[in-house]
A and B are shown apart, each in its own frame.
Chain A
């Protein structure tokens, strides 16, 4: 990939100085009586790729949704790139939110816009980018995800895998510092999964974007992650390098979980 197609702002990586880009302090989230996250603390350094694993209901997806401000925590502080995301006034939330992009399990492309406009709409409307610039960039990104020829198609005319790759391009078009991936291959037919993961691998290896990834694709997690966090009942019960966590986990619960999905 050439320098001008790099879809993310350049964050120095492995320069010795680490910079915290995500910080959760004592974050608690309840849905009714159900405590989904229980006084959770964790931080992610800039440029790192962190994978969250754990049984469903363990709170992984909720963390992504908290960071995307789709839900609010009941307690705690969330900081992104040194600026507070929660609690914060609406105007600040809007600014901080621009640093974060998200790819959803169900793609959530806008069916009323053709593929190209799905990618250009937010840069033009939200970032105030000129239409020409946004289109040029959208075409680059669509080429990156292998869909340069689908600019004029409506999302409903694409396969699930193609839709998800458009959704990745759409998220990257906002030049986020952090990319949240919420089980991005779970809704795909098996034969379409590889195409999406290849694109993400490419992005993970060739850019300095920080990734937070909820997935059940363990080989993918092993491949791209710097760190893996094992969740259970709203807490991180184990964290470590993918080699350690997948190869020789300390925690019995982790071993059990891995045996059910590997």
Chain B
């Protein structure tokens, strides 16, 4: 590994920076897509659920690599303009990983006990207010750990952009290999680079998770006496209800 010249190291480090940028932009777009599509999939109107469900299925069922090539090379043939490779990549990754993220959002929202919504109705909140003030804040801590997984998948997925000639880590590694004629050292180096980036992401997301859980009183803030009686709000409301209202037999 020591036979890399300074120029080749610089090439790799520039690749790291591109990979970080790709990850951040795609994650931002992906998060927006995940929330919009995920919430749409819990909407009360069937047509909204249908359209968002179709989006999810389409992006889950297509290869991100092929889609990326398609966006970059095929779309220009029909529309007459072409995205720069970087944005074609961000668009594809954001839409694809956003689709996976929508499943996380949908699941976490569905996991908030219906009794919370009922309490919101009883206090006169509108559906939008219930979502913003009651449901999403409670769903959020549940989303963070799976989002962490997805984020790391996304980081590693950015390697696909090398096919468009975007100078990310993987693309830089190909250039280095061409220059040195030796695969082993450079690919070992970038393996470690991806791992370090993923590890850093995980540390950040742990922090986010801890804050999210503290925000719903799930871990005791330090230095306070905790009187803990029963866990977070008992969740057998539905069972109790059906026996009280429907179980005449």
Contacts and interface: CB of A to CB of B under 8 A. Distances in A.
Interface stretch (B81-89, B198-206, B241-249): B241-249
Contact of A122 (B123, B138, B246, B248): B123
A108 interface: yes
Contact of A157 (B123, B226, B241): B226
Interface residues on B, range: 35 or more
Contacts of B231: 156
A170 interface: yes
Interface in A98-115: 98, 100-102, 104-112, 114
Given A106-B115, A125-B129, A157 B227 contact: yes
Contact of B115 (A56, A104, A189): A104
A159 interface: yes
A98 B247 CA distance: 30
Contact of A111 (B138, B229, B247): B138
Contacts of B227: 157-159, 162
A69 interface: yes
Given A112-B137, A157-B227, A57 B122 contact: no
B122 A68 contact: yes
26 contacts: A36-B248, A56-B243, A57-B248, A62-B244, A70-B122, A97-B122, A97-B124, A104-B115, A104-B122, A106-B237, A106-B240, A108-B115, A108-B237, A111-B233, A112-B138, A112-B217, A114-B217, A121-B133, A154-B217, A156-B216, A157-B217, A157-B226, A157-B227, A158-B229, A170-B123, A233-B248
B134 interface: yes
A127 B246 CA distance: 34
Contacts of A71: 245
Q: Is the interface of B mostly helix, strand, loop or mixed?
A: loop
Contacts of A62: 244-245
Nearest to B119: A108
A101 B122 contact: yes
B118 A70 contact: yes
B129 A112 contact: no
B67 to A, nearest CB: 37
B216 A111 contact: yes
B45 to A, nearest CB: 14
Contacts of A60: 244
Contacts, number: 138
- For the complex of A and B, list the 10 residue pairs with the smallest distance between their C-beta atoms, beginning with the closest: A154-B217, A57-B248, A122-B123, A108-B119, A159-B229, A112-B137, A126-B124, A102-B122, A31-B246, A61-B244
Most chain B beta-carbon contacts within 10 A, residue among A153, A233, A234: A153
Contacts of A154: 216-217
A160 interface: yes
A162 B137 CA distance: 23
B189 interface: no
Contact of B124 (A36, A58, A98, A183): A98
Interface residues of A, number: 55
Interface in B20-47: none
A106 B236 contact: yes
Interface string B213-240: 0011110100010111111111011001
A76 to B, nearest CB: 16
Contacts of B118: 68, 70, 104, 108
Nearest to A55: B248
A156 B228 contact: yes
